[in-house]
Amino acid sequence: MHLELRKGTKEDAQAFVDLLQKVHADMEHKEWFYLDAPEETKEKIVASQLQMWVAMDGNTMAAAFSVIFPGLEANNYGYDLKLSQEQLMNVVNMDTAAVHPDYRGMGLQKKLMQMAEQELQRTGRKILLCTIHPDNHHSLQNVLDQGYTIQAKRSKYGSIRYLLRKDIP
């Protein structure tokens, strides 16, 4: 098996949505994984509000990681931390990580997050924020191992979430 890790494109939008729906459908604790409506996700990709990094096994999307550039929109996690307007403009919501069940245990979430961070360093946006359900120990440990720290515990997406932060140079 040879996986190609690369930046996602608009042409990957449907495969990305399909992967998210597959992962969500297979989850025992569905509250751990919030999904926007598929059309909303595709619209964000086309508008370049959402960018993604993907692991492809031929034509199969094995894993994906997405980020959102929220600006001053209400979905900016920085509001929960009472960041200044200038800081809010430097926030990236580290949004969604999904790994197809057949490809788990290969470190793909971590690899794709690291690829995203490397590119984000060049954008000038330096405040990386994400939310994780407290009981989702695997994802939580994954981001803690990458230097994120828990900043708050908030009600989001219909359940409780940790809000984590990492500042990049």
Q: Angle, nearest 10°, between helix axes 108-121 and 137-145?
A: 40
Query: CA 94 to CA 21: how far, in whole Å?
Result: 19
CATH hierarchy code of domain 4-167: 3.40.630.30
Torsion from C-alpha of 136, 96, 92, 109, nearest 10 degrees = 80
Angle at 61 between CA 57 and CA 63, to 5 degrees: 100
pLDDT tens digits in sequence order for the chain, 169 residues long? 789 999 999 999 999 999 999 998 887 776 777 777 778 888 888 888 899 999 999 999 999 999 999 999 999 999 999 999 999 999 999 999 999 999 999 999 999 999 999 999 888 889 999 999 999 998 899 999 999 999 999 999 888 999 999 999 8
Query: CA 91 to CA 133: how far, in whole Å?
Result: 20
- φ, ψ for residue 162, nearest 5 deg: -80, 145
